[in-house]
Chain A
């Protein structure tokens, strides 16, 4: 009898402690990740290709257009917003969060494939491009791969391209780069942190999984990372379903963006960073070999996120290249 009373008091105490707290759900809009263009219509957006993308422009729409394509897959353009400075030097700068990324509309992961992302890119170009307007692509990481995918299919519609550390233009090269970026120490804090959270948070909805993805991104800049990151890069909201869907797709359907890429005749600028030990000159030469007319430039004192971390070193190189083709 005494035990029953004791247990009852313990249960009541636990109930009071937790019952008095406000309880929230991971999946509730706005709790852990910002709203997208669907929930917040004040966010600048464009409707293309049966989706709605978060998109902004800077500069005079009549100037030559620079379409900035962010990395990931699954990241967003917040970390490369420095590129808006090109608008002060006579360029019309266009940003967009890819389908399912950043503040753009979410979709089930089953719909994602490389062709869909290339089609979205083409639709964004067509949405903003004026008559006889020159178009330049500036792609970072996965965004540079996507640019290559577009140019492989449309080698004559763009006037220049800046590729910043694309993992590869084929799945084979990309896989090699991704393997180089992985931590090799099984006892490493970063690696164990990444998998440990799986027992705290599981889910299938966009809010929960995008939040969980953002927690994993914290590890990218921890000491000992191979891509030369010294601090976490800013973002709005990661897109888990985009990344998972595309990874599932390319594993089953390895891509090759090099079949017609050599037909892209304008000079390309290919950038790699000094501090990204997983990349380096040899990988830059391997990946860029599919381009017929290319200049390789190493950005000193910067890692993979060089647009964010060493803009001052990158910008003159990019501006000089664009002015040559303007």
Chain B
């Protein structure tokens, strides 16, 4: 709840934010090479996310950025996800654009039973129809928790004293498939959304809530 109280005022007061993955490649301005993002939605919990991206001068548009997200709750910073992202346009035919996002992430999660710290990767592809003031797209991606460190509490050891702390590899993965889009509010500010379903790998049991959805703001500056 504390996080909500912190992030909601930022959400309403901010004029500089949006969903970086939801970049409208047809509205990029050469004068504004930075993006700020702010999102709120469901992504393995009710989460708030902020991010910053910088346009790297290359032949094709390429954004390098960082974002951090955290779920709601009474305890701040016990759970969060930090990502370093590369966003780039792969191919374009008229207004149809194929883009990709490659990320490496660090996730942390703590309960009364265990503290998890995980390094992982994400790859997603997006095909969309882009106009200067709006876009819609479909996206498909995969995230993998490559290596996760588990540190167990005395509470869980009371039940199983021989439980082993340490690095576990790999510990999980999910695919996601959905739609996304954006709509410009003015020349530098846009609203964005994304929603879709989450599927686990192979025969893995599905997620408790196998879906995601986010609303956000994006600001070029």
Q: Which residues of A contact B (CB under 8 A)?
A: 18, 21-26, 30-34, 78, 186-189, 191-204, 209, 214-215, 218-219, 222, 232, 234-237, 240, 244
Q: Do the beta carbons of B45 and A200 come within 8 Å of each other? A: no
5 tightest CB-CB pairs across the interface, nearest first? A189-B73, A202-B172, A192-B45, A187-B72, A218-B113
Given contacts A195-B208, A215-B114, A232-B112, 11 further A-B contacts (CB under 8 A): A21-B167, A23-B167, A32-B150, A186-B46, A187-B73, A188-B74, A192-B79, A198-B44, A200-B148, A215-B113, A232-B155
CB 8 Å contact bits of B139-153 with A (1 = contact, 0 = none): 000010101101000
Q: A22 with B168: in contact, given A186-B72, A187-B46, A198-B208 (CB under 8 Å)? A: no
Query: Could you tell me the distance in whole angstroms from the C-beta of B174 to the nearest C-beta in chain A?
Result: 7
Q: Do the beta carbons of A201 and B172 come within 8 Å of each other? A: yes
Q: A203 with B205: in contact, given A34-B162, A186-B72, A193-B111 (CB under 8 Å)? A: yes
Name the interface size band of chain B: 35 or more
Q: Do the beta carbons of B204 and A204 come within 8 Å of each other? A: yes
Q: Do the beta carbons of A30 and B162 come within 8 Å of each other? A: yes
State the CA gap A32–B161 with chains docked (Å): 10
B202's contact among A21, A191, A204, by CB below 8 Å, is which?
A204
CB 8 Å contact bits of B159-172 with A (1 = contact, 0 = none): 11011101111011
Residues in B neighbouring A199, C-beta threshold 8 A: 44, 81, 107, 143, 145, 172, 174, 207
State the CA gap A197–B113 with chains docked (Å): 12
B1 within 8 A of A: yes
Q: Do the beta carbons of B171 and A24 come within 8 Å of each other? A: no
Q: Do the beta carbons of B107 and A218 come within 8 Å of each other? A: no
- Of listed B118, B168, B202, residue having the most chain A CB within 10 A: B168
Query: Could you tell me the distance in whole angstroms from the C-beta of A16 to the nearest C-beta in chain B?
Result: 14
State the CA gap A33–B168 with chains docked (Å): 14
Q: A193 with B73: in contact, given A23-B147, A24-B166, A215-B111 (CB under 8 Å)? A: yes
B109 within 8 A of A: yes
State the CA gap A199–B73 with chains docked (Å): 17
**12 A-B contacts, Cβ less than 8 Å apart?**
A23-B167, A25-B168, A33-B160, A187-B4, A188-B74, A193-B73, A200-B109, A200-B148, A202-B207, A232-B155, A237-B160, A240-B205
B173's contact among A18, A195, A202, A236, by CB below 8 Å, is which?
A202
Query: Could you tell me the distance in whole angstroms from the C-beta of B108 to the nearest C-beta in chain A?
Result: 10
